[in-house]
Structure 1
Amino acid sequence: MSKDEYFVDLEALDTVGRKLNGVLRAMTETKGKSAHSTYLPEGALGKDFGEENELRQAHNTMKSFIEDEILKHLEDLVDDLAQKTSKTRGAYEDREYDAGNALNPGGN
């Protein structure tokens, strides 16, 4: 291959896309568990002491921050990367097809 030629491993781009989608699925499962498995009802930390309510509210505040700020931004980032990987793969595949047709214009 000369220095003016390029090679793109489309299978590698497919692999990256599959892995990113796997990360998205795992994040969705984790987000669901976080939303539904970490509920802290009144009295769960004890009763008749003033800090119980503060602890529950701090828990809910941190839980919301993790879900809305951290997980949401990570999910958006991974989704964006997955979409860009897919588009890039498609663009390279189109170029490969165009190059093949340019070399064999009659399809013979």
Structure 2
Amino acid sequence: MSFLPSNIIYNFLISFGVIVGASLLAGIGALINDHPPLKTMFNIAGSVKIWAVAVALGGTFSSFEAIEKGIFKGEIKSIIKQAVYVVVAVLGANMGYGFIRLIQKCGESIIK
């Protein structure tokens, strides 16, 4: 995997999409099961954040291999590249979480 801006965009949007997609589908499941959908969406968004980052990175082992290569073979560029990918994936997951929080806040204000 080369260090391209498109990979950074993919990592961000994949982690964002995992959070939003999982939360929205959990909300549909909550409606079917007669549970509160907004609360369920918020709980799921918080619990899948780490998985969204792992999915965006393409699995954890490839990242560990790249970091290992950087540490033991002296390839600092590899460590920096993986660090950027991890930070971008975390940002995407947090933005997805924030988006779900925004939906929850808007839903609560409409209900009141």
TM bracket, shorter-chain basis: 0.3 to 0.5
Larger radius of gyration: 1
RCO higher in 1 or 2 (8 Å CA, sep ≥ 6)? Answer: 1
More helix by share: 2
